[in-house]
Amino acid sequence: MDKLYDLAIVGGGIVGAATFYKLQTAYPDLKIVVFEKEKAWADHQTGNNSGVIHSGLYYTPGSLKAENCVKGRRELVSFAKAYNVPHDVCGKVVVATKESELPFMNKIFDNGIANDTEGIEKISGEQIKDIEPYVEGIAGIWVPCTGIIDYRRATEVMVEVGEAKNPDSSTHLNTEVLGIEHNGDHRLINTSKGDFKAKKIIFCGGLQADRLAKKDGVKIKEKVVGFRGDYYELTDQAKHKVKNLIYPVPNPEFPFLGVHFTRMTNGEIECGPNAVFTFKREGYNKTDFSLKDTMSALSYGGTWKLFFNNMKFGVDEYRRAFSKRLFLRTLQGLIPSLTMQDIKPGRAGVRALLLGEDGDTRDDFRIEYSDHSIHVLNAPSPAATASLAIGDYIKELAEEHFKLK
């Protein structure tokens, strides 16, 4: 292919789409090509998460997560309004069910204040009941700026708006990037649909971020390890028990937020997710297995350190993954009146963790650059909420290091 693109973006999740949208809007004359290996945009982490617009409550003040979540949330809501993306800023309650949770509840409240999370307030058990009548808790946080959104549709719209800016740009589904060749002033991108030429490349590969970095000749010590999250749904007879969003106080010793209740934009109510090691990075069923992915994860010392550091939690999560009764028992911690007949198995998602050699989950966003490429190496939750802010951040990096004009 003789056409030379100014930029290539690898990955069609919401971070890749937001990056395309931001760059093409700011520089309508740039010729940009976007590659997504699946048949649809947002087919992995973006399209299989819990659909929550996060507030910024949980993240360390000053971190990339905190700054980009709050900025990105506000912009995402404006974007959704402008382009009729299904969404609802409905608010959520974070619920403490025992005294031992109160110190950490107070800590995340203080985080929220420091992160400029507007409207949050501490509430009593009685006030929780005013918002969510079936929830039992001793204290909580009301977070009015949290919402829900259709992230798949948001991603599609970002791509559509970007495409309309320049007819010389192009987007390609069902096109997997297989290799990168460095040829002087441009890169030759080998894909499943042939070769493409681009001056610079931005990688937003999610679950494949470390492998794409390796293809580009970037050396990183960490590895991406996948964790599957299973969801249940409330049956029709139980949907009245959840109005909007209900979260537990997260356990500070465990690197996930815990099982929560989410009213989706389609009216369904999901409960979950748990978090279990997956034997296939893009495996959404309990029995999915990839020898390559399993060997990659289990031959890495950081994976075992994460397991040993979280042994009790890991065992509990696995037991719950295969037991509806145990999953229900967790849900009953917030809504005691739920029964086995009130829940049914739902979908699953897989999240990517960039894992350090010491078992550290590399909690903050991590984006690295060189003179010819930018790599989004770690973009866990709240990356979808923060996507437009991350797109701005990447645009600024590209302006500086790619000398965009």
pLDDT at 363: 74
Predicted pLDDT at 350? 94
**Mean pLDDT, residues 106-113 taken together:** 95
The helix or strand, by DSSP H or E, that contains position 397, with its residue range, turns out to be helix 387-401
Contacts 24+ apart (CB under 8 A), 288-293: 293/226
Domain range 4-46+152-222+363-401, CATH architecture: 3-Layer(bba) Sandwich (3.50)
pLDDT over 90 for what percent of the chain? Answer: 82
Confidence bin at 276 (pLDDT 50/70/90): confident
Q: How confident is the model at residue 256 (pLDDT cuts 50, 70, 90)?
A: low
Over range 384-403, report the average pLDDT: 96
Q: Which residues, 6 or more positions from 109, have their beta carbon under 8 angstroms from its beta carbon? A: 57, 120, 122, 141
Please compute the mean of the pLDDT values over residues 302-328 and round it to a whole number.
81
Rg of the chain's alpha carbons, rounded to an integer? 21
Give the integer Cα–Cα distance in Å for 356 and 369: 19
Q: What is the pLDDT of residues 28-51, one digit of tens each?
A: 999 999 999 999 999 999 999 989
Distance CA 97, CA 329 (A): 14
- Residue range 202-237, pLDDT digits in tens: 999 999 999 999 999 998 989 999 999 999 999 999
How many Cβ atoms are within 10 Å of 322's Cβ, its own excluded? 11
Q: What is residue 10's predicted lDDT score, i.e. its pLDDT?
A: 98
The Cβ of residue 192 has, within 10 Å, a number of other Cβ atoms equal to 12
The per-residue pLDDT for 365 is 93
Query: Is the pLDDT reported for residue 1 higher than 60?
Result: no
Q: How far apart are CA 363 and CA 378, in angstroms?
A: 8
Per-residue pLDDT tens digits for 333-364: 999 999 999 999 999 999 998 998 988 876 78
Considering Cα of 286, then 289, then 294, then 297, what sign does the dihedral take? Answer: negative
Kindly tell me if the per-residue pLDDT of 248 is higher than 90: yes
Q: In the predicted model, what is the mean pLDDT of residues 253-262? A: 79
Res 362: pLDDT:
67
* Least confident range of 126-130, 254-258, 372-376: 254-258
User: What does the domain layout of the chain look like in residue ranges?
Assistant: 4-46+152-222+363-401, 223-232+254-259+268-361
136-153: per-residue pLDDT in tens?
Answer: 999 999 999 999 999 999
* DSSP assignment of 66-89: HHHHHHHHHHHHHHHHHHT--EE-
pLDDT of residue 2: 74
Please state, in angstroms and as integers, the Cα–Cα distance from residue 222 to each residue in 203, 360, 372, following that order: 16, 10, 21
Is residue 87's pLDDT more than 70? yes
Mean pLDDT of the chain: 94
Residues 6+ apart with CB under 8 A from 83: 157, 161
Does pLDDT of 377 surpass 70? yes
Q: Which of 132-136, 162-166, 182-186 has the weakest average pLDDT?
A: 182-186
Question: Is the confidence at residue 317, as pLDDT, over 80?
Answer: no
CB 230 within 8 A of CB 20: no
